[in-house]
Amino acid sequence: MYIWKCWRDSRARFVTYLILVSLACAVVIGIAAKMGGPAAFQRGPDGTGVWGLWAFGGRILLGGVLAVIILFGALSLGAGVIGEEFKEKTLWFVFTRPRSRRVWVWTSWFVGGCELLVVILSAVVGVYTGLTYLSGYMYTWRLLATVLPLFVAALAVYTMAFFLTAVSRSGENGFAWGEGILLIDLLLPLALYYWRIKVSSVFDVMHDGCAWAVGPASAFPWRLVIICVVLTCALLLGTQILMERREV
């Protein structure tokens, strides 16, 4: 029943998120089709794909524009799914029901995680379907496989917002702190690149994953994916320990 309650709390955010992602998909696919022209329908150098449009759609759309929307949406979901309890001051009620606190933490995290997966699946399937329709060519399964890096990266950001909300006892603060960290994570590698120092960000997981999907020469970013998974587990465990010890 708590799943229902979490879904009820987060559904408005989820629907908004889904609409934003769908709109971004539609707009960018439209631009891709318009700007790509004949080049958009050329085959790729290895003959495996309709390179121009797919490269644009796969790499730029999924790994670029949508990735940013997905990351900030994940922040919002992570802060919201647990933030409602703080906002409504209902933790006393939740924590006096006969369930261990870890159940509450994992259930709310699970609901938001499922919503995140649905958004990312919709984005990827939307892009895949849109590009297939426009190019008349079905690309490889690799584009669908971009769900993994996109989801893993978004899940890490989502769990970070979840953790920060638990730390700050406020969804607004959790989101704001998460936004700050995410911006630093996105901008710091750019700044360090000036000194030829290469640092990966969560954005790289998504971008590299998408680059792998459309460019057979690129390697799948396994290392970054594993780092994201470990980070997610650590943050979730941290939230659980925090909430188990939290005084209400």
Partner 1 sequence: MSELAIRTNKLVKIYSQLRAVDELSLNVPRGGVYGFLGRNGAGKTTTLRILLGLARPTAGDATVLGFAMGREQVAILERTAYVSETKTLYGALTARQLVRFTQSFYPHWSSEAVAKYARTLEIPMDRPFAKLSLGNRTKVCLLLALAQQADLLIFDEPTSGLDPVGVDEFQRVVAEDLAGEGRTVLISSHQLADIERIADWVGLIDHGGLLLEARLDDIKSQFRLITAAGTGLPQGKSADIVSVNSDGDFCKYVVRNNAEAFAAELRSQGATVTDVSTLGLREIFLELVRKEELCTSGNAGEIAVPASLPI
- Residues found near partner 1 in the complex (CB under 8 A): 1-2, 4-5, 8, 88-90, 92-93, 95-100, 245, 247-248
Closest to partner 1 by CB, 91 or 147:
91
Between 6 and 211, CB nearer to partner 1: 6
Is the Cβ–Cβ distance between 206 and 63 less than 8 Å? yes
Find the shortest distance in angstroms from Cβ 84 to partner 1. 8
**SS3 for 195?**
coil
Q: Given the complex with partner 1, which of 196 and 247 has the nearer CB atom? A: 247
Question: Which residue's CB is nearer to partner 1, number 92 or number 141?
Answer: 92
Least Å from the CB of residue 167 to partner 1: 18
User: CB of 41 within 8 A of CB of 52?
Assistant: yes
| Secondary structure of residue 187 in the 3-state scheme | helix
Which tokens is 53 given? 């449009």
Closest contact distance (angstroms) between CB of 108 and partner 1 is: 13
* Shortest separation between residue 2's beta carbon and partner 1, angstroms: 8
CA 132 → CA 49, 85, 166, 247, distances in Å? 11, 43, 42, 53
Pairwise CA distance, residues 155 & 239, whole Å: 14
Q: How far is the CB of 7 from partner 1 (least distance, A)?
A: 12
Please identify, using beta-carbon distances, which residue of 217 and 247 lies nearer to partner 1.
247
Q: Within the chain, how many helices (H) and strands (E) appear?
A: 10, 0
